[in-house]
């Protein structure tokens, strides 16, 4: 998995730098007759799309595997601030070996529950 700094830098390249470069090359290429304008722009655009796909996969894995959850359990009547509960979903030894841990806000799923898409829990009957 990518660390946050590398992820942020690659995201900036994929979303800002490469599209800007492709647009720049296309515009100036047409004005100044740069060689192989269409091939260069297509190559840059394909690189940006591939990098975006890789970053999306990394992001999905990052979000799918939190180290724990933060849940609101009530509100302090005097201050209006929420009462929160932190729960971890991994062994302490694993958490202590990391530089960063991630918490998802919300209620954790029940233990040992397999989440399946709708329709996957239907029994298959063979004839």
Helix, coil or strand: residue 105: strand
**What pLDDT score was predicted for residue 126?**
46
Query: What is this structure's pTM?
Result: 0.58
pLDDT of residue 116: 52
Q: Residue 1's pLDDT is what? A: 63
Which residues are CB-contacts of 84 (< 8 A; sequence separation ≥ 6)?
A: 70, 71, 72, 73
Q: Quote the CA–CA distance of 23 and 76 in Å, as a whole number.
A: 54
**Hey, where are the domains in the chain?**
4-64, 68-105
């Amino acid at each position: 998995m990518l660390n946050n700094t590398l992820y942020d830098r690659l995201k900036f390249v994929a979303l800002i730098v490469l599209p800007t470069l492709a647009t720049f090359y296309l515009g100036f290429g047409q004005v100044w007759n740069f060689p192989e304008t269409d091939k260069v722009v297509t190559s840059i655009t394909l690189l940006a799309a591939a990098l975006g796909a890789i970053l999306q996969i990394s992001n999905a894995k990052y979000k799918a595997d939190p180290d724990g959850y933060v849940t609101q359990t009530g509100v302090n009547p005097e201050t209006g601030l929420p009462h929160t509960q932190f729960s971890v979903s991994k062994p302490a030894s694993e958490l202590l070996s990391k530089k960063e841990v991630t918490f998802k806000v919300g209620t954790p799923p029940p233990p040992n529950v397999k989440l399946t898409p709708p329709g996957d829990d239907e029994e298959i009957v063979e004839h």
